[in-house]
Amino acid sequence: MLIADSTGPGFALAAGIKQYLAEKCDCDVPLINVEKKTFKDGEFKLKISDNIRRKKCFLIHDSNKLPCDWLAELAFALEAMTFSSPEEINVVLPYLRFARQERKDESRISVNAKVVADIVSLYATRGITVDLHAPQVQEYFQIPFDNLYSFPMLIYYLKEFHPEILENLVVVSPDLGGGKRAEALAKRLQKIGVNAEIAFGHKTKVRDNEVEKVMIIGDVCGKNCLVVDDIIDTGGTMIKTAEVLRNAGAKTVYAYGTHGLFTQGTDRFKVFDKVIVSDTLKSPEGSNVEVLSLVGLFGEAIYRIVRGESLSVLFDK
């Protein structure tokens, strides 16, 4: 059984997963609503709209909610499911909120990712997400927690719709910290015969979300460049990276970010030829923004969990 909030923008992803599973299993897969009643003082309660007793349940939690609402509704929905006696409680978190606060890097701060992990681990049997900001966040969960990778889907998308960029390609990390991410994509591309080079951006920050300067380490002149990151927030680093790539003679400049927050809109991303994001979040419209669907990735993961099959094949398939 799938469970999701039918009133939120993330319901389209849940409906797509339902359709995928229905075709895969050749049967109807129930998609149950999470009902929300809000009181005058702002408090609310959640109710699972149908019987889930002895069912294997997958809560597909809407990542588009404001962070505080996302966390509260996640906790309340899981608690409501716990007392409904399901066989399993699996939680699908397309974009894991608070994952960027994953370590103690100064005194007297909260490690928010661990708090989220503790709440989920208290109620759920298993968790699924995609492209964690920091893979070590998996270790905070006291339950099996699978971090899927979207790069296989991205490679398929590029081959299908933008094969021109795969010629003379440079995979660019906008900062040194994302170097492993760029290397991982380059290695996957090599398996299909695309020998991509790697370049790195070196940035200096004035403060959070405000970048002062970016320098590119690597040869990008006359090359097709694909800037990759896990999250597009304000896009400051990505945009400065694209500007430096243009000035360095790059032929084309594309961007891929799994989770497109676009907190300052999409207009400022016109420096890119294309910006590709996944549907973990509902992205605002933009003339050069394209959406890569991860319905198949999540749907196949759910199918394999129910069947007791390996998920590792999804990382390379």
User: How confident is the model over 134-175, as pLDDT tens digits?
Assistant: 889 999 999 999 999 999 999 999 999 999 999 999 999 998
Helix (H, G, I), strand (E, B) or coil at 261: coil
Question: 117: which 2 tokens?
Answer: 């992990």
Cβ atoms of residues 166 and 192 within 8 Å = no
What is the Cα Rg of the chain in Å? 20
CATH class of 151-292: alpha beta
Determine the angle formed by the axes of helices 67-82 and 112-123, rounding to 10 degrees: 20
Nearest to 232 by CA among 174, 179, 180: 174
Task: Decide if pLDDT at 98 tops 90.
Answer: yes
> CA geometry: angle at 122 spanning 116 and 125, to 5°?
100
What's the pLDDT score for residue 203? 73
Task: Decide if pLDDT at 208 tops 80.
Answer: no
pLDDT tens figures, 44-64: 999 999 999 999 999 999 999
Helix (H, G, I), strand (E, B) or coil at 125: coil
Residue 130 CA neighbour count, 13 Å, CB half: 32
Cβ atoms of residues 278 and 249 within 8 Å = no
- Residues with catalytic roles: 203
Cβ atoms of residues 157 and 164 within 8 Å = no
What's the pLDDT score for residue 204? 72
User: What CATH number belongs to 2-149+295-315?
Assistant: 3.40.50.2020
Long-range contacts of 35-38 (CB under 8 A, 24+ apart): 36/5, 36/7, 36/73
Phi, psi values for residue 215, rounded to 5°:
-120, 145
What's the pLDDT score for residue 202? 82
Q: What pTM, to 2 d.p., does this model score?
A: 0.93
Phi, psi values for residue 182, rounded to 5°:
-65, -40
Cβ atoms of residues 49 and 16 within 8 Å = no
Strands 210-217 and 197-207: antiparallel
Q: Which residue has the higher pLDDT, 312 or 33?
A: 33
pLDDT tens figures, 243-270: 999 999 999 999 999 999 999 999 999 9
Question: 245: which 2 tokens?
Answer: 């790539």
Please report which residue ranges of the chain form alpha helices under DSSP H.
11-25, 67-82, 112-123, 151-161, 179-191, 236-247, 295-307
pLDDT tens figures, 209-239: 565 677 899 999 999 999 999 999 999 989 9
What's the pLDDT score for residue 124? 98
| CA pair distance 257, 228, nearest whole angstrom | 6
Parse the chain into domains and list their residue ranges: 2-149+295-315, 151-292
What's the pLDDT score for residue 26? 87
Same CATH topology for 2-149+295-315 and 151-292? yes
